[in-house]
């Protein structure tokens, strides 16, 4: 079955290294918590808020072993007044035997505010 796995994080500065590193950490946790392997991933969409333009977060995935052929696309998030700033959102679509309720979505930093109902490990 194909399932969507959500993830989001924030950065403190519009700085390429920070964007790539925070994205890498987020992706690695999403993969680990859901027992996903690169060859089971259909595609990954990454959106960023308008205040992040110092680098492509998809570069983080290209540095991971086995991710060469995973289709990844970066895009701009809808600019809604009052929305969370400096935010990177990920939608990973993968083949998994997990039910929707079993999928573990991952939110880091200020992004835990986006879906507190889905944050299972609030202490991490």
Domain ranges within the chain, ordered by starting residue? 2-115
DSSP letters, 54-105, are SS-TTHHHHTSTT-TT--EEEEEPP--TTPPSSEEEEEEEEE-S--TTT---
Task: Calculate the average pLDDT of the chain.
Answer: 93
Q: Domain 2-115, CATH 3.40.640.10 — does that match?
A: no
pLDDT at site 70: 96
pLDDT over threshold 80, residue 43: yes
Give the pTM. 0.92
Mind listing the pLDDT tens digit for each residue in 18-33?
A: 999 999 999 999 999 9
Mind listing the pLDDT tens digit for each residue in 67-87?
A: 999 999 999 999 999 999 999
């Amino acid at each position: 079955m194909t399932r969507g796995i959500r993830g989001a994080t924030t950065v403190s500065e519009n700085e390429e290294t920070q964007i790539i590193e925070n994205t890498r950490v987020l992706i690695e946790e999403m993969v680990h918590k859901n027992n996903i392997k690169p060859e089971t991933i259909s595609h990954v969409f990454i959106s960023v808020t308008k205040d992040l333009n110092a680098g492509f977060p998809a570069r983080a995935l290209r540095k991971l072993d086995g991710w060469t052929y995973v289709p990844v696309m970066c895009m701009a998030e809808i600019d809604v007044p009052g929305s969370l700033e400096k935010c990177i959102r990920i939608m990973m679509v993968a083949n998994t035997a997990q039910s929707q309720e079993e999928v573990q979505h991952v939110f880091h930093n200020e992004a835990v505010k986006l879906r507190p109902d889905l944050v299972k490990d609030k202490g991490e």
